[in-house]
Chains A and B, each alone.
Chain A
Amino acid sequence: MTAPARYRTEVLAVGSMIPEFREAGLLVFFAEQAPRELHDIVVLHRPSVADSAPEPGDVFELDGERFTITAVGSVVAENLLRLGHVSVKADGAVTAALPGDLNVSVGRLPLPVPGSTMRIVAADHPGDRAGQTEEPS
């Protein structure tokens, strides 16, 4: 069963500092209208689906590699849906340290390239989601 993507986007350009950030387990995404001065530090992209915000338990997928979303910072919904902006951290944290953080399961994030696809897919239990957001660990 494949749930529909909440968010789907294609990578346009990868900033010069991204390989260094990725070594630290971090990828910063920003849609293509990002001001020029941010281009070195972000993955620029063009979303084709921006329907809803991620929730813990959803799947973050980059070029087919899947990570479980463990925490969602308080401004992620607004930043992602409005600006295409989110900081993805593969540290498995269950509480977002910063309001813009989207934490995912521990692993090595792929290095995106122009043409890469990033998706956020809802957890496979659409019926359960209405009343529950985050399960305490």
Chain B
Amino acid sequence: MAGPYKKVKIAAGRGGWGGPLTIEPTDARPLIYCVTGGGIHPVAQRIADLTGGQVFDGFKSSAPFEKIAVAVIDCGGTARVGVYPMKKVKTVDVHATSPAGPLAQFITAELFVSGVKPDDVSQA
């Protein structure tokens, strides 16, 4: 077990939308789930470093939604941007997108923040 865990606050970056989100992993929800391809994104790594959560590459294997403390995506606006909020998983998009597309109804400021860079993640 990685704990004890710490809280972080994640604010929208320039041109971004939503948030701020407060993320605190738990033993039941330890994963900083990175769905960006090409390895762990620096934003996911920063969240893991500050919270003590466990980085997990969603392209290498899969994990149940209930284990995910936060999903980090690099979505251009339609697919990944909606799937995790639809499952009530807090979601961080490194691109500055706003709710759109067929899944937009699920994307709320309580669950979603975008345009996030590593500096937008701070200890809470």
Contact = CB atoms under 8 A, between A and B. Distances in A.
Interface of A: 17, 20-21, 24, 26, 28, 30, 33-38, 41-42, 73-76, 79, 82-83, 85, 87, 97-101
A100 B83 contact: no
Contacts of A98: 76-78, 97, 100-101
Contacts of B59: 33-35
A112 B17 CA distance: 33
A109 B78 CA distance: 17
A122 B35 CA distance: 30
Interface of B: 35, 37-38, 58-59, 62, 65, 74-80, 82-84, 87, 95, 97, 100-103
Contacts of B80: 38
Contacts of A36: 62
Q: Which of A42, A76, A87 has the most B CB atoms < 10 Å from its CB?
A: A87
B79 A99 contact: no
B38 A97 contact: no
8 smallest beta-carbon distances between A and B, as pairs: A100-B76, A98-B77, A87-B78, A99-B76, A35-B58, A75-B76, A36-B62, A83-B37
Nearest to A74: B76
